[in-house]
Amino acid sequence: MSKRVRKAVFPAGGLGTRFLPATKVIPKEMLALVDKPIIQYGVEEAIASGIEHIIIITGRGKGTMEDHFDNSFELDATLERRGKKELLEVSRSVATLARISYVRQKEPLGLGHAVLCAKELVGDEPFAVILPDDVIDADPPCLRQMINVFCERGGSVLATQTVEGPGISAYGVLAGSPDPGNPRIYNCTGMVEKPRFEEAPSTQAIIGRYVLTPRVFALLEQTRPGAGGEIQLTDGIKALLKEEKVYGYTFEGKRYDAGDKFGMLQATVEFALKRPEFGVRFREYLKGLKL
């Protein structure tokens, strides 16, 4: 098995119910954070981390993602005719960002099932999984940090963040202990999907970035529906843990849950403040609000 991580799977076949009514017709992954669909942030992170091939798992009503990462002849021709060179460049550059393949998940049977849909395209090599609604602001990119750990240690790597209190019940949670040599690495011995607060084995919550070995596909094929009646990726990784090393990794950077209304509001404010073209004006605007 090659050690290079060349492919990234983007599960985007879910229903996005937390963001209704916006997601009744528009895929959650296409909601704009300032001026870019949230999935584009993930694609840019993958490319900046050395990924060469992106595999997006789509579903019913998700066709706009394919249009977004493709040429838009009418739009480009109009922008060209009007001499809007900068905007033309913005539109064209999205279509040339990456090599992207699409696989359709016929029914949203869960995150584990969505990842399994990429089995043939990934083949027998390690791969990344990026959940597009987790937008991560980090330098170096979160996935790059994780690939570095994978290359150094050789086992699967799950991005984590510390969650104190009952909020932990929304996540997959690791059991294990911190690595004596590197406080960012957590030596994983088990994991539980969405535990009750009192039963959470630690405060290490799994977030939307994974580097996995291809063995996980065979294990996901044997995984039965778990929490919420869905085929859970966490259950597949739990089976992997019996055969191979799995590490948690506290990434350096900040994560926003843009698939959640409040998380999207936080991301919007913080990303807007960082934009050179209007960040100063936006800061003044916020200061002027009588809060």
Residues in contact with ligand UTP by the rule CB under 6 A: 11-18, 28, 57, 105, 108-111, 113-114, 131-133, 259
Query: Closest approach of Cβ 63 to ligand UTP, in Å?
Result: 14
Rounded Cα distance, 272 and 231, in Å: 36
Rounded Cα distance, 140 and 246, in Å: 22
Query: Closest approach of Cβ 204 to ligand UTP, in Å?
Result: 19
Q: Which is nearer to ligand UTP, 176 or 235 (CB)?
A: 235
Query: Closest approach of Cβ 145 to ligand UTP, in Å?
Result: 21
Query: Closest approach of Cβ 114 to ligand UTP, in Å?
Result: 3
Which amino acid, 157? V
Query: Closest approach of Cβ 110 to ligand UTP, in Å?
Result: 5
Residue 171 phi/psi, 5° resolution?
A: -120, 170
Q: Which residue is nearest to ligand UTP (CB)?
A: 14
Q: Which is nearer to ligand UTP, 8 or 79 (CB)?
A: 8
